[in-house]
A and B are shown apart, each in its own frame.
Chain A
Amino acid sequence: MTMDQLDAAGLLAVYSAMAVYTLAFAAFAIDVAKRSAARSTVPRELVSVGGDSPAGGQSPPAIAPAEAGRGARIGFVLTVIGWVVLVAGAVFRGLAAGRVPWANMYEFALTGVAIIVGVFVLSRLWRDLTFLGVFITGLAVVSLGTATLNFYVPPTPLPPALQTYWLVIHVFVATLATGFFALGAGLSVVQLVKERRTNGFLRSLPSAEQLEDLGYRVGVIGFIFWTFTLVAGAIWAEHAWGRYWGWDTKEVWTFIIWVLYAGYIHARATRGWRGSRSAWLQIIGFAAVVFNFTVVNLFFKGLHAYSGLSSE
């Protein structure tokens, strides 16, 4: 296939993934609505995270999947399908451009959403976080919509400054961190909602404290990847620009995000801050990540001019 055909195939896959995620979102949303309205007959917590199980507690802490509503199950299956299609889309795009598919904003968005959804899907092996389906698929639809409508550019070769394995490492790890941050923020949002209100759906979720623990663990993994991102970025900057740190716009925001998450980790360990305050910090941290990817890339001036969109 020619470059244009490959790219068209990729774009088609991305549109298809968007359609599938829209359906998944609808399925998850219907499930939430139904369960919120229903008078819950299952008041007990679905997740058991250590602590109080009786002697012998041999089974790993997990949710009984049978408890998830039909809508949620359909939503999850659709999410997996959408994920496969989107990964195919990113691969086609990479083939069309002859390089990794994360060198401009359109491609960051594709790969980023693929990774966020991938983290969500794979987290199923660890815990059932299906209740975040609405949040994750909603995020996926909005991001892919923005990417195709506003960020699309034809595939072009890499400028010399980006031709290095540091692009592969630095940007990939940053995207991976974003995947974990997204999940952590989702958990924090649910935690906050759960602290304030209750209905059938919310009652079926893990307790606010368990949500907080999960959110913290996911956030910490994101933080570790973000630390790698920061360090890899500095080493790359050293190779490309002759200094490892120069307070370039993008460096500033990477730093801000890192510091915000350090604040979050401290807050989790501080009396009076653990709980909803630390949850807010995790959400603010993720908001900064999203801001960094969108507003900073598009409107702030700096050396990292790689949106692929002309600023004139």
Chain B
Amino acid sequence: MSRSSESDPLRPRDHIEAPRRAEPLGEGPRLGIAGWARFLWRQLTSMRTAIVLLLLLALAAIPGSLVPQRSSDPNGVIQVRSANPDLVWLYDALSLHDVYTSPWFSAIYILLFTSLVGCVIPRLAHHWKAMRAAPPKTPARLSRLVGFQTVPGDASDLDRAERMLRRLGYRTARYGQSISAERGYLRESGNLLFHTSLLAMILVVGIGSGFGYQGQRLLVEGRGFANTLSSYDTFTAGQWFDDGSLEPFAVRLDDLEVEYETENRYAMGAPLDFTARVAVSEPSGERSAQIKVNEPLSVAGADLYLISNGYAPRISVRDPEGNVVYDEYTPFLAQDDLMTSLGVMKLPDGLSQQLGLRGFFYPTAVELGSGALASGYTDVLNPVLSLQAFTGDLGLDAGIPRSVYSLATDEMTQIAGGDSGAESLTLAPGQSVEIPGGLGTIAFEDVLRYGVIEVHVDYTQTLVLWITIALILSLLASLLIPRRRLWVKATGTGLEVAGLARGEDPTLERAVDALARQLRAGAAPSHATGERVTT
């Protein structure tokens, strides 16, 4: 039953409520470029196309959850590529490591949003007019409409009925001896705002994120860094980023506190809380602050996060004469939940040969049955360092960039640990041992914690939050506000009442009943049912 009128929302032509139009023969495009263009545009902006594109978008998002992505899991990408060298071309050809920026994924959402624009703009224009249009004429016969009933009354009750309807939020118009009322324009407004907000979201995220940046810096307790490009360990920025925009501030990590579980035997040593106490210097002065997981620190428009932590033993190396050639806090990377940590040191100069050290730090070392060491607890109760030593070419001059966390040993000879015949260099804080081959001595001085601080600037945040709020509110309006028409018509037998839903409206019948009851209740005493209804 489609009674359409000017105040009806405009719908794509395959919408369930769009009036069925008699299509010109074959509907197919009339010859000519304009005809074809109109035909294609109509296809693109149909509901069917929107559904198919939405389903395609869902499908196209799946591979990105199966194959590691450069943006979210760069290490995974490296692993997959080295494990399947003969498939690398395929990964690249299909952009499988950058699914969400790949041409095929982009094509789908660009088409979807083009369709959205094409769908929403005519509806916006139409809705603008419809909001001003009077509710449509009262149908000749109400008896076939929803909730039809007749209550006692006559034309003199129409004023009262109109006031009632107005109070209920209906827009009304008089047509002869009848009132035509309509409400729920906000449903269509919500729907349009919702789709427009989706569009705004894509644009803001797409463009705005091009100006932001993010950088990570590892800090051992007591150390600091200034917010300049060169002080970051890793740095990525959007395409329109300008390094002049780096806010002038500096951060020092004073202390990294970790609290451990000590009672629950299923989770002994599990970290319960991390707190990084920092000193922040800004042009306006210095202040102290803290960063916790889930509690970033805001500094001059940038957000600072504590994203990981670990131990940095201070290791010193002396040559045979006792001159210090290396003395640094060296960050070790945690390998498991018990903080068994792996670290590497490279000493190209100062000794008679180049020296490489690689080994584990155990915050609380325990000896396994096999005699090997392992970490038994996460906090520092019995710290032990166990290092293997290599001499030879560290490969630092070859010009190949090498990670500071890995040691290329192909060109080196192992002199301690492994199959070298000599024991690993095993040290507790304050101890020192000879390096085999008379190279010198190595000492484990003490150990501090380090934290990795991420600095993040994203200019889209606030706007995205507002758009999100608009999205949610408009979605609620669009899905939950009923759009309906009600009619009250004075006839010889009384007041006829009936309604018509525009869109999903499960409570229409109850609404008609409620109106009828109100009319009855307010009617002349002889008609009154004694029932008062207050809505």
Residues of A within 8 A of B (CB): 3, 49-51, 53, 55-58, 60, 153-161, 163-164, 166, 213, 216-217, 220, 223-224, 227-228, 231, 234, 236, 238-249, 252-253, 255-256, 259-260, 262-263, 266-274, 281, 288, 296, 300-303
Least Cβ–Cβ distance between A224 and chain B, in angstroms? 7
Render B49-89 as a binary contact track against A, CB cut-off 8 A, 1 for contact: 01100110110011011101101110010000000000000
- Chain B, Cβ-Cβ closest to A50: B509
Least Cβ–Cβ distance between A295 and chain B, in angstroms? 10
Least Cβ–Cβ distance between A221 and chain B, in angstroms? 9
Within 8 A of A (CB), among B249-296: 261, 264, 266-267, 270-274, 292-296
Least Cβ–Cβ distance between B160 and chain A, in angstroms? 21
Given A238-B461, A242-B305, A273-B51, A156 and B513 contact (CB-CB distance below 8 Å): no
Given A216-B504, A252-B65, A266-B51, A157 and B272 contact (CB-CB distance below 8 Å): yes
Knowing that A247-B64, A259-B57 are A-B contacts, what are 9 other residue pairs whose CB atoms are under 8 Å apart, sorted by A's residue number? Answer: A156-B267, A158-B272, A160-B294, A242-B454, A246-B71, A247-B72, A256-B58, A263-B58, A281-B55
Q: Does B433 contact A (CB under 8 A)?
A: no
Q: List 27 A-B contacts (CB under 8 A).
A: A50-B506, A154-B266, A155-B264, A156-B261, A156-B264, A157-B270, A157-B272, A160-B273, A160-B292, A163-B273, A223-B479, A227-B472, A234-B468, A240-B294, A242-B456, A244-B464, A245-B205, A252-B61, A256-B58, A256-B62, A259-B55, A263-B54, A269-B16, A270-B16, A272-B14, A301-B68, A302-B73
Q: Considering the complex of A and B, which 5 residue pairs feature the smallest CB-CB distances, nearest first?
A: A156-B267, A263-B54, A154-B266, A55-B149, A50-B509
- Chain A, Cβ-Cβ closest to B17: A269
B69 with A266: CB separation less than 8 A: no
Least Cβ–Cβ distance between A41 and chain B, in angstroms? 29
Summarize B's interface: helix, strand, loop or mixed. Answer: mixed
- Chain B, Cβ-Cβ closest to A267: B51
A113 to B443, CA, bound (A): 58
B68: chain A residues within 8 A (beta carbon) = 301
A263: chain B residues within 8 A (beta carbon) = 51, 54-55, 58
Within 8 A of A (CB), among B14-58: 14-18, 47-48, 50-51, 54-55, 57-58
A156 with B266: CB separation less than 8 A: yes
Given A56-B149, A241-B307, A228 and B472 contact (CB-CB distance below 8 Å): yes
Given A55-B148, A157-B264, A160-B294, A243 and B456 contact (CB-CB distance below 8 Å): yes
Q: Does B7 contact A (CB under 8 A)?
A: no
Least Cβ–Cβ distance between A39 and chain B, in angstroms? 33
Q: Does B147 contact A (CB under 8 A)?
A: yes
B476: chain A residues within 8 A (beta carbon) = 224
A51: chain B residues within 8 A (beta carbon) = 146, 509
Q: Does B508 contact A (CB under 8 A)?
A: yes
B15: chain A residues within 8 A (beta carbon) = 269-271
A57 with B307: CB separation less than 8 A: no
A256 to B296, CA, bound (A): 29
Within 8 A of A (CB), among B298-341: 303, 305, 307
Least Cβ–Cβ distance between B21 and chain A, in angstroms? 12
A260 to B62, CA, bound (A): 12
B51: chain A residues within 8 A (beta carbon) = 263, 266-267, 270, 273
Q: Does B227 contact A (CB under 8 A)?
A: no
Least Cβ–Cβ distance between A97 and chain B, in angstroms? 9
Least Cβ–Cβ distance between A227 and chain B, in angstroms? 6
- Chain A, Cβ-Cβ closest to B112: A259
A161 to B72, CA, bound (A): 17
A55 to B495, CA, bound (A): 13
* Among A56, A239, A301, contact of B296 (Cβ-Cβ < 8 Å): A239
Least Cβ–Cβ distance between A83 and chain B, in angstroms? 26
A132 to B303, CA, bound (A): 49
A228 to B479, CA, bound (A): 14
A217 to B468, CA, bound (A): 23
A161 with B100: CB separation less than 8 A: no
A259 with B16: CB separation less than 8 A: no
